[in-house]
Amino acid sequence: MNAAASTRAGKLLSIRDLAVQYRTGRGIVDAVRGVSFDVEPGKVTAVVGESGSGKTTVAQSVIGLLASNGSIARGEIELNERRLGTTSLVGLPERRWQDLRGRCIGLIPQDPGNSLNPVKTIGRSISESLRIHGRPSREEVRERVLALLEQVGIDDPERRAKQYPHEFSGGMRQRVLIAAAIANDPELIIADEPTSALDVTVQRTVLDLIDRLRRESGTGVLFITHDLAVAAERADHVVVMRGGEVQEQGPSERVLAHPEAEYTRQLIADAPAFGDVVVRERVAVRDRAVEPGEAAPSVERAEVALPVERAERVETLDPLLRVQHLRQVFGRGSDAFVAVDDVSFDVPRGTTHAIVGESGSGKTTTGRAVAGFARPTSGSVTIGGVDVTGLRGRALREFRRGTQLVYQNPYGSLDPRQSIGQTLAEPLRNFSIGTRSDRDDRVAHALELVALPAEFAHRRPRELSGGQRQRVAIARALIVEPELVVLDEAVSALDVTVQAQILRLLAQLQSELGLTYVFISHDLSVVRQISDTVSVLQHGEQVEFGDSARVFENAQHPYTRRLIEAIPGRRAPTWMI
């Protein structure tokens, strides 16, 4: 260690006053302005922020992979590397970067689906950086690859190393990428949203793995995430970013227990894992057993005494929506794939039923069958006493007036060429609701309902942010005054603060208009807040159904318990809240 390094003794990575600019068609954009923080060896520093906060840009400058139109305007990044001591990472020639990347800095990318070369075996992908950084003998490389695969918890490494990425699940691919990142024992690992694309249970095991490797090897971790709960659980030091600037930083306990910046407080208040984002009147629904005479579904439906004091109102009405033995098979013959197998639930009017599961569990398929966009192979969906599974033509159109679907992706569900006003007026015209002159008023009213100004009617979708578009999508669903709204991951693509706003809006609209929701989500912390009853799906099978308070407190099925345990922030230290 030379003299310069001793002044910042103990720091592995130190960033001082970093500013990054992007040249774009519309002039220069300051993506990062004056960011300073450190990463210590063996510790995790988490950079938290919403989309557009500049957190990924910081990570890219540390590993020298800024987009070609980006440049470091000022500031200093120093890495205290083992072999050469303190090295400044600003303005390094590409040749030096090639030496540093992989050997000193490992990167775990965001999307495990696209980050592995599909025509190379897993073994070759991992050994690439070993060969680049000079491990000569073939035998040595092979042994190291197998050891790495074993280290990241992949069974049967000999066989797995010869397989291709498509033979691995998302979580397994992320393990492979972690193995590749740590192949040369780097001093610093940059994990850029390493688990955002993964299911919660997989997310947890991957994060545990990164934790374990860090402890064992003393590697410093720069952890980029949008999820404050994940940061709280895993990081020693938290840096909260917004608009390219650091809002607040410090030890995680301090930042989360006593946030100083207004923005941090808001983030904590809006994070569903930490507290009540939505205050809504809960409707306790008695866990109705299946009516006598019907075949009992294979679902565990324990009759649990309701904690009556938590319920303001006990619903005794007949269900608005009744799904019975729903089964959906795609394909035929030997290719047949059972997406949904024997799912049954009732949703009383004015309540929210959540369908929870990981990707591939059949929750979206179930939602689409309820909304009339898919014809189930067998089983029935009854809404207001009418079986909707066989509807066609005119009857199907009439049915859509009562049941609306809101999609996950607000960027895809609005026609880019139509103004918001046209989009909202379309269902009115289709269903001949109101007169021509009356429609403008109804559009304005619908915008008001979702808290958007009336002049938005003249805008196009591209002039709106993601959260605003999702409000428009909700307004389009509500303008026909439906009884039932199916929300398919409707808040999953949004930043937490926007997500919290939409959730509040949904709760408010429900109490004002008496809407019934089917809320499809993978995020249990959101589901816990917004739902009255919940179904848990695993591989198309309904493993749990019941009152959500009961399910969250006393889950019967091991899978449900695993899902609940995997909610980030649940294991957050006790100083929280």
Which residues in this chain contact other proteins in the complex, by CB under 8 A? 25-26, 29-31, 50-52, 243-245, 262-263, 266, 269, 371, 373, 397, 400-401, 404-405, 407, 409, 411-418, 426-427, 430-431, 450-453, 461-471, 473, 476, 480, 494-495, 497-498, 501, 504
Bridge-based pairing state of the strands 220-225 and 237-242: unpaired
Smaller CB distance to other proteins: residue 83 or 392? 392
Residue whose CB is less far from other proteins, 186 or 372? 372
Is residue 68 within 8 Å of 51, Cβ to Cβ? no
**Minimum distance from CB of 472 to other proteins (Å)?**
10
Query: Cα dist. 121→140, 194, 198, 303 in Å?
Result: 18, 21, 22, 51
Tell me the chain's radius of gyration from C-alpha atoms: 26
β-strand partners of 23:
28
Which residue, 176 or 486, is less far from other proteins as judged by CB? 486
Shortest Å, Cβ 242 to other proteins:
8
CA distance 207 to 572: 14
DSSP 101: B
Burial profile 427-444: b = 16 or more Cβ within 10 angstroms, e = fewer: bbeeeebbeeeebbebbb
By C-beta, is 6 or 51 nearer to other proteins? 51
Cα–Cα distance measured from residue 47 to residue 141, given in angstroms and rounded to the nearest whole number: 34
* Total Cβ atoms within 10 A of residue 75: 18
User: Between residues 174 and 470, which has the closer beta carbon with respect to other proteins?
Assistant: 470
Q: How far is the CB of 356 from other proteins (least distance, A)?
A: 22
Shortest Å distance, C-beta 265 to other proteins: 9
Min CB(486)–other proteins separation in Å: 10
Shortest reach from residue 245's CB to other proteins, in Å: 8
CB of 12 to other proteins, least distance (A): 29
Decide whether 161 or 428 has the Cβ nearer to other proteins: 428
Choose between 344 and 501: whose C-beta lies nearer to other proteins.
501
* CA angle at 355 for the pair 113 and 473, rounded to the nearest 5°: 75
Least distance in Å: CB of 403 to other proteins?
9
Q: Is 502 left (phi over 0), alpha (psi -120 to 50) or beta?
A: alpha
Residue 92 vs 433, nearer CB to other proteins: 433
Could you identify the residue written with the tokens 């324990």?
A: 302
Q: Extract long-range pairs of 192-196: CB within 8 Å, 24+ residues apart.
A: 192/56, 192/59, 192/107, 192/108, 192/109, 192/110, 192/224, 193/56, 193/110, 193/224, 193/225, 193/226, 194/108, 194/109, 194/110, 194/223, 195/230, 196/110, 196/225, 196/226, 196/227
Q: Where are the alpha helices (DSSP H) in 372-459?
A: 393-400, 420-430, 436-449
The 10 Å CB-count burial string (b at 16+, else e) for 206-244 is bbebbeebbeeeebbbbbbbbbbbbbbbbbbbbbbbbeb
Question: 140 or 262, CB closer to other proteins?
Answer: 262
Residue that has been written with the tokens 């190379």 in this structure: 120
314 or 395: CB nearest other proteins: 395
Q: Give the nearest distance from C-beta 495 to other proteins in angstroms.
A: 6
Least distance (Å) between residue 240 CB and other proteins: 12
Phi first, then psi, for residue 185 (nearest 5°) are: 50, 60
